[in-house]
Copies of this chain bind each other. A is one copy, B any other.
Amino acid sequence: MLHTFIALVDNKPGVLTRIASLFRRLNINIASLTVGETEREEVSRMTIVCDAPDNAAHRIRASLYKLEITRDVDEVGRSEAVIRELALIKVEAGPPASSSSSRTHLFELAEVFRARIVDLAPESLMLEMTGSSSKIEGLIQVLMESGYKILEVSRTGRMAMRRGKHTSRVMKALGSKDHQGDSPLDPDALPPSERIPNQFAEHDA
C-alpha cells in the first residue's frame, strides 16, 4: 500500500542522507520523494511516498518524528490532500514540411490534457504537464498508442498538500473516511464553516 508523508525538516546539509538511511534501516522502499523550499527559509518540506504494509504507517511516522532534524510529520490520504506531479515529456516530431499532421495532432493532444508546449525544436517537441500520476500516465499511454516516439520522460514524483478546512460533509463527498479536523501542519487553522462546497474536487477528471 502506498503511504504519503509530508515532513517538515531543517534546511541544512545531511538531512537527505538521514531521511534516506532511515527508510533503508526500516527496509522500506521509497517510491518517490521531493524536497523543496517552504514559506520559511530554515525549513524544507519533503513529500515521501513509500510502499509499505498498512500497519507500518504508524512506525514510519514515529521514526521520522524521532530524528532531531524533523519538525513535523503528517500522513495524508488521497482524499484529504491535493496530490500533484510535474512531468516533462520530449516527443519526436519532424519539421512541418514532412509531417505537419503529427505536430497538429500533438498540439490537440496537449490541449485536451491541459499540457503546455515548452520547447519546439526541428525534430522534437517538449510537453509540460501537471496532474495526478494517473493523468500523466494517461498522456504517456495515449502518446505511445498514437505511434509517437517518446525520447525522454522526467517526473518530479508526487507532492502533497492537505486541502483547506472543509466540512465533514464535503470531506465525505471527496471520499474521505476519517477526516481529522486539525492538521498538524496548519496551526492557524480556522473553524470550519458550512458555506461553500469544494467545486474543485473533480478537477482532474
- Minimum C-beta distance from A99 to chain B (A): 13
- Which residues 12-31 of A sit at the B interface, judged by CB distance below 8 A? 13-14, 16-17, 20-21, 23-24, 27, 29-30
**Residue from A45, A161, A190 having most chain B Cβ neighbours under 10 A:** A161
Binary flags per residue of A1-45, CB closer than 8 Å to B gives 1, else 0: 000001000000110110011011001011011111111000001
CA gap between A165 and B95 in the complex, in Å: 12
Residues of chain A touching chain B, judged by Cβ–Cβ distance below 8 Å, are 6, 13-14, 16-17, 20-21, 23-24, 27, 29-30, 32-39, 45, 47, 82, 84-88, 90, 92, 95-97, 116-126, 128, 130, 140, 149-157, 159-167, 185-186, 188, 190, 192-193, 195-196, 198-200, 203
